[in-house]
Amino acid sequence: MAESAEAAENAESTPPPPAGPVRSAGARVVLGTAAVLLLTATGLFLGAVFLHVAPANSLSREYREQLDGLVYPEFEQNWKLFAPNPLQQNVAVDARVRTVSADGDAVVHGWVGLTAQDIAAIRGNPAPGHADQNLLRRAWDFYDGSHSAQDESATTERGRLAEDYLKRIAVQRIGRSVGGRPVVAVELRVTTTTVAPPDWSGEAAPPAPKVRELPWWPVRDEDLRELW
């Protein structure tokens, strides 16, 4: 009984172990500083994105170059914060390639629906990838904004870059060879269809789809670099 009483007395006098890990003062300072820096960086980033999508003001005009450098290209937005402008056209991009037969004759292969591939990857997917949703669409917007629809001539200094970008996407989707023969040229076809208004709107039916065929672009070794 004496031993039991002594054991109980010792147990009561022993302080309980700490509830959580014990950190030194230096560790707490480091963690607190990191948390403050993280929250500050997050707040600055959200503020910069807000200024980028908000209507133009004196602050956004003053720091336009810095804001563009932060947002583009990873966080690009093509909508306006207070005046959303949803797409009113469906754009379908197709591609076909040309190879050379063993006899030296040019062989043109059938059209491949690049946009149809993206739609198939998105439909039914609860978390579709960013590339499936935006890569091809933004590449076409880039090209369309830098070329004339009449003769496909470049209207900006970045026109050649837009051509190479579209070409590399098409070749990557189709492959560097077809039927065992290397791809030597690629052509794109773009079909633009205006979204039909609802029946109750009373608006006129949309015009017929517009088909735009781009020139044949040669495929060189540098066009295939780092694609696979």
Domain ranges, residue 62 = 23-81
Angle between helices 25-53 and 64-71 (to 10 degrees): 110
Same domain assignment for residues 95 and 75:
no
Q: Are residues 111 and 167 in the same domain?
A: yes
Mean pLDDT is lowest, of 65-79, 93-107, 122-136, 158-172, for: 65-79
Q: What is the pLDDT of residue 143?
A: 95
Radius of gyration over every alpha carbon of the chain, rounded to an integer in angstroms? 30
Considering the domain boundaries, does residue 102 fall inside one? yes
Q: Convert the pLDDT of each residue in 176-205 to its tens digit.
A: 999 889 999 999 999 999 988 888 888 888
Tokens read off for 66: 């810095």
Between residues 113 and 75, the one the model is more confident about? 113
3-state secondary structure of 192: strand
Whether residues 74 and 99 share a domain: the answer is no
Please write the tens of the pLDDT for every residue from 113-140. 999 999 999 999 998 888 888 899 999 9
Confidence (pLDDT) at 60: 85
Q: Would you say the pTM of this structure is higher than 0.85? A: no
- One domain, residues 158 and 100: yes
Place of tokens 């300072």: 29
Indicate if the pLDDT at residue 112 is higher than 90: yes
Residue 10: band (very low, low, confident or very high) from pLDDT cuts 50, 70, 90: low
68 and 120 together in one domain = no
Q: Of 14-28, 110-124, 156-170, which gets the smallest average pLDDT?
A: 14-28
93 and 77, same structural domain? no
Dihedral through CA 23, CA 28, CA 30, CA 36, nearest 10? 140
Q: Could you tell me if 38 and 151 lie in one domain?
A: no
Max intra-chain CA distance, the chain: 107
Per the DSSP assignment, residues forming a β-bridge with 100 are 106
Taking residues 217-222, what's their average pLDDT?
Answer: 91
Tally the domains of the chain: 2
pLDDT of residue 108: 96
Q: Are residues 101 and 210 in the same domain?
A: yes
DSSP state of 224: G
Q: How far is CA 76 from CA 92, 97, 169, 208, in A?
A: 22, 31, 19, 31
State the pLDDT confidence band at 172, using cuts at 50, 70 and 90. Answer: very high
The candidate with the shortest Cα–Cα distance to 223, out of 158, 154, 174, 151, is: 174
| Contact present, 142 and 165 (Cβ < 8 Å) | yes
Residues 161 and 213 occupy one common structural domain: yes
CA distance linking residue 149 with residue 165, whole number of Å = 18
